Amino acid sequence: MNSTDYIDLEDRFSAHNYHPLNVVLTRGEGVWVYDVDGKKYMDFLSAYSALNQGHCHPRIYQTLVDQAQHITLTSRAFRNDQFGLFAKKLTQLCQMEMMLPMNTGAEAVETAIKAARKWGYKVKGIAEDKAEIIVCSNNFHGRTTTIVGFSTEKQYQDGFGPFTPGFVIVPFGDIEALREAMKANTAAFMFEPIQGEGGILIPPEGYLKQAQDLCREHNVLFIADEVQTGLGRTGTLFAYQHESGVKPDLIIIGKALSGGFYPVSAVVGRKEVLGVFNPGDHGSTFGGNPLACAIAGAALDVIVDEDLPGRSADLGRYLMDKLKGISSSYVQEIRGRGLFIGIELKPEAGGARRFCEFLQQEGLLAKETHENVIRLAPPLIITKEEIDWALERIEKALTTL
């Protein structure tokens, strides 16, 4: 079978909830992937930052193989010998007190929402069913009906209502709007330190510290969604660490937590917050399973031992400087931190999709977001020479199309 055959099967038997580039991948190693027709590509998306450690990292792979030969799933009805070790490693790395394991990023966000509401009622003393959580415009926290209910992207909501009440939306980066939204019933402020799906949007310098101070003043939880920005992607272990003196009450983690081998997510935070859960309040059959925990533990070790945050910081500066040196009439702005970069195109560029399709033909895989932004997020194990290879193709796309 060739690429056309596989594409026909997918289009016929799968719901059309994605619009992927027409490349059918069959193998990956490091920053490189190969399609079923034998063509080689450099991956500049990293499965939306789930592959910070690269494709099929041998250390994580070996852990998967070893653990799969022993036991893969117990459910949390029983204990297993991997969960406690993973819980300790993750909470200590995050400098937190407790964690709660889940599978996907959206599940972890839902967990944080439940924790914030229950904390609001049991600890802060908010009246029953009156708790509010403040979120930001252009947010992306997942795809459940509760989460899309507080999205400002109309397509994410179309046909899926009615939605869960209890969310207040403020402009991202506007500290005065956040101040005005703080009420007696406010339980939490949940935010992305850098909005990835929104187009690699970075808040004003000092915003996170000011927002944290407001939360402390009003006894409101400060919750960072680091599913896409965390674990080294932006040049620090977590993106909130670009501002000094910032420490969330809860951190939501996913994607690269497993290095791309398995769905693993978690909420880590203060005991006062996660301690509100009692047996039966919340759960997941697969959350905290021994295979997931072993894989995630190895994935964290790779991030630390190979200093992936440091690599992202250094190579991100290099990539950003080179990109800003490209002369193109189509480029509106280039922004980002570490190896998390967006190239925003002017309206006359005709959308980012055609640039990504051109890059695919040149052997580089990237993806558009918000129609006019090319998102660049290669695995953090990439080398300077490989970045130079990619830059040649990006410059060709921006200057010849």
Residues taking part in catalysis:
140, 225, 255
Contacts of 61 by beta carbon, 8 Å cutoff, 6+ apart? 261
- Cβ-contact 342, 93 below 8 angstroms: no
> What is the DSSP code string of 357-379?
HHHHHTTEE-EEETTTEEEE---
> What is the DSSP code string of 174-227?
-HHHHHHH--TTEEEEEE-SSBTTTTSB-PPTTHHHHHHHHHHHTT-EEEEE-T
Per DSSP, 253 falls in state E
- Cβ-contact 360, 23 below 8 angstroms: yes
Residue 173 tokens read as 């980066």
Q: Looking at 225-368, list the stretches that DSSP marks H as alpha helix, in order from N- to C-terminal side.
A: 271-274, 290-305, 308-324, 353-361
CA angle, corner 53, sides to 49 and 54, nearest 5?
Answer: 85
Closest CA relative to residue 77, chosen from 229, 225, 288? 288
Question: Whose structure tokens read 């415009």?
Answer: 137
> What's the distance, CA 99 to chain centroid?
18
Q: What's the chain's length in residues? A: 401
- Cβ-contact 49, 377 below 8 angstroms: yes
Contacts of 277 by beta carbon, 8 Å cutoff, 6+ apart? 100, 115, 118
Name the 3-class secondary structure at 231: coil
Distance (Å, whole) CA 140 – CA 360: 26
